[in-house]
Amino acid sequence: DAKTTQPNSMESNEEEPVHLPCNHSTISGTDYIHWYRQLPSQGPEYVIHGLTSNVNNRMASLAIAEDRKSSTLILHRATLRDAAVYYCIPNNAGNMLTFGGGTRLMVKP
C-alpha cells in the first residue's frame, strides 16, 4: 500500500478556504486517491476521490498533482461543522481502506 504523509493538525478561520495537503509519493498508477473525514463521535464519511484530473463535488475540491505524488483537498469556505480528522487514502483495494493518522482540522469562529 502507498504510504501517505499529512500534517498532524491544521487550523482555519470560519468562512475561509482551507487547503489540506497529502503526499503519496509511492502511489501506483491505478490507485484512486480518496479523502474521508471523521467528525467527533462519528464514523468516517466519504468526501471525494479522483485519479488524475481535479475533481469537484458539493463538499470539496480535489487537486491532484500532475505526477500524482501529492494531492490537496480544498474546502472553499470552512464552517464549524468541517472540524474533523481528514484522511487521504490511495485506494487499491476497494472496501479495504488503509487509514493513516490524518489531519485534524480545527475551525475557529
Give the 3-state secondary structure of residue 81: helix
Distance, in Å, from the CA atom of 88 to the CA atom of 38, rounded to the nearest integer, reads 12
Backbone angles phi, psi at 80, to 5 degrees: -60, -30
Among 7, 21, 23, 49, binds other proteins (CB under 8 A): 49
Residues 65-94 touching other proteins, rule: CB under 8 A, are 87, 91-94
Contact 79, 60 (CB under 8 A): no
Q: What type of residue sits at position 10?
A: M
Kindly tell me which of 17 and 101 has the beta carbon lying closer to other proteins. 101
Say whether residue 32 binds other proteins (CB under 8 A).
Answer: yes
Kindly tell me which of 14 and 23 has the beta carbon lying closer to other proteins. 23
Residue 32 CA, distance from chain mean position:
12
Kindly tell me which of 63 and 97 has the beta carbon lying closer to other proteins. 97
Stretch that binds other proteins, among 5-13, 14-22, 41-49, 76-84 (CB under 8 A): 41-49
- The three cell numbers locating residue 89: 487514502
Say whether residue 23 binds other proteins (CB under 8 A).
Answer: no
